[in-house]
Amino acid sequence: MIDVCLLGTGGMMPMPDRWLSSLLLRTGGHTFLIDCGEGTQISWKMSGWGFNQTDAIILTHRHADHTAGLPGILYSLAHAMRTDPVTIYGPIGITPLVNALRVVVPRLPFELSVVELFNGDVVQLPGGLEMRALEVSHHVPCLAYSFQLKRTREFQRDIAEAKNIPVHYWSALKEGQGVEVDGKTILPDDVLGPPRPGIKVSFVTDTRPTSELPEFVRGSDLLICEGMYGSEEERSRADERGHMVFPESAEIARRGEVKKLWLTHFSPALQNPREHLEAARFVFPQTCIGVAHKTLTIPFPDTESSDDPDHIEQE
């Protein structure tokens, strides 16, 4: 399963009741932070999620409302006695930014590395999480991300026993390796069930709609997508500044056939995002307004019910 915690939903600058847009993902004992604007470590502390299991910090782009909290995050990781390596991922050009912010936290008890990603890159993260990057349309290099937790095919023990396959070969077959039994080749397909759906979470911010986005987020169990402005009347401003209005975000969710949409990254001028929620739901009914510390546990399909504290009818 994947646990999701939205740490903030603001764009441009933190507000008294709104932290800047950032997200935590957790799976298999590994935690990943996506974006870290000013004050992110405070909201993180308030969430109750620990710092020590953080393996990667993933940045969408270099603007301050997505990166200025990095020194505080690194200091918090150090204070949590993190000693295992941490990797920062981001678009081209992120390395000099990280190096500049490191000046105020020059000594860390863990190795810190920076990896610059390009359009279409795929990264295997700890915990079996696969991350994909997509270049989007902003004023600086910016990436959208999808995170997929694939599910292994079920090992059909009854078939293995009927074929008299010794138990010590089962692990290899489960891992996709063929084996030789009494001079006969046994392939994984002989004893594994059909492919099973996994879990997909996508994160899209600071972009105009692009033709690639619906396919990129397709089938996501959860799409967290920016909604900088609420109404269609703001579309010209959104276009000028490289952002989206609620109906545009909802259209990406609809075309991508996602299961649920959380809107985030609201303009400081958008004091009550819920006033524009119905415009988004007209396009995509499964739309929710993101709020700090909104959480969701996404299990593998057909295993257990999802733990969603904010059902669509309660919004």
Q: Where are the alpha helices (DSSP H) in the chain?
A: 40-47, 64-67, 70-79, 94-101, 157-162, 170-174, 213-216, 235-241, 246-255, 277-283
- Mapped onto helix, strand or coil, the DSSP state of residue 43 is helix
DSSP state of 200: E
Q: Let me know the angle formed at the C-alpha of 7 by 61 and 46, rounded to the nearest 5 degrees.
A: 140
Distance between CA atoms of residues 65 and 270, nearest Å: 16
Distance between CA atoms of residues 96 and 118, nearest Å: 16
| Burial class of 185 by CB neighbour count within 10 A (0 to 12, 13 to 18, 19+) | exposed
Catalytic residues: 65
Which amino acid would we find at residue 295?
T
Question: Which residues sit opposite 258 in a β-bridge?
Answer: none
Backbone angles phi, psi at 161, to 5 degrees: -70, -40
Kindly report the number of other CB atoms within 10 A of residue 128's CB atom. Answer: 15
